[in-house]
Structure 1
Amino acid sequence: MTREVRAFAITVLALAVLGLPAGLLWSALSPRPPYQVIERTPTLADPSTQALIAADGWFATVTGALGLACGTLAWFLSRRVQLPVLLGLALGGAAGAFAAFWAGTTFTVGVVAVEAAAAPGVAFLPGPLTLTAKGVLVSWPLLATGVFGFLEGMHGYRESPLRRPHPPAGTTAPPPGPTPPG
Structure 2
Amino acid sequence: MAREVRAFAVTVLILAVLAVPAGLLWSYLSPRAPYQVGGRGTMLADPTTQALIAADGWYAVITGGLGLACGAVAWAVGRKAMLPVLVGLCGGGVLAAFLTLWLGSTVTIGAVTVEAAASPGTTVVPGALRLTASGVLVCWPLLAVGLFGLLEGMHGYRESPLRHPLGAAPDSQPLQGQSPAPGDRDEGPPATR
Whole-angstrom CA distance in 2 between matches of 1:126 and 1:96: 26
Alignment match, 2:102:
102
Residues 166 and 102 of structure 1: CA distance in aligned 2, closer, same or farther (over 3 Å): same
Select between 87-96 and 36-45 the one with higher mean Cα deviation.
36-45
Does the 8 A contact of 2:22 with 2:100 survive in 1? yes
| Structure 1 gaps, min length 5 | 168-172
Whole-angstrom CA distance in 2 between matches of 1:40 and 1:114: 20
Alignment match, 1:151:
151
Whole-angstrom CA distance in 1 between matches of 2:111 and 2:20: 19
Alignment match, 1:18:
18
Whole-angstrom CA distance in 2 between matches of 1:74 and 1:117: 49
TM-score, reference length from structure 2: 0.83
Residues 35 and 176 of structure 1: CA distance in aligned 2, closer, same or farther (over 3 Å): closer
Alignment match, 2:69:
69
Does the 8 A contact of 2:32 with 2:114 survive in 1? yes
Question: What percent identity do the matched residue pairs reach?
Answer: 66
Does the 8 A contact of 2:38 with 2:122 survive in 1? no
Pairwise CA distance, 1:27: 0.6
Alignment match, 2:78:
78
Whole-angstrom CA distance in 2 between matches of 1:134 and 1:60: 10
Deviations 1:119-141 (A, max 9, x none): 57754211100011111111100
Residues 74 and 121 of structure 1: CA distance in aligned 2, closer, same or farther (over 3 Å): same
Alignment match, 1:6:
6
Whole-angstrom CA distance in 2 between matches of 1:126 and 1:141: 30
SS at match of 1:36: strand
Q: What amino acid is the match of 1:65?
A: G
Q: What amino acid is the match of 2:2?
A: T
Equivalent residues, number = 173
Does the 8 A contact of 2:24 with 2:103 survive in 1? yes
Q: CA RMSD in A?
A: 1.9
Runs of 4+ in 1 over 4 A off after TM superposition: 119-122, 175-179
Pairwise CA distance, 1:21: 1.1
Whole-angstrom CA distance in 2 between matches of 1:145 and 1:76: 13
Does the 8 A contact of 2:118 with 2:124 survive in 1? no
Whole-angstrom CA distance in 2 between matches of 1:15 and 1:103: 14
Does the 8 A contact of 2:36 with 2:118 survive in 1? no
Alignment match, 1:46:
46
Pairwise CA distance, 1:97: 0.4
Pairwise CA distance, 1:90: 0.2
Does the 8 A contact of 2:9 with 2:88 survive in 1? yes
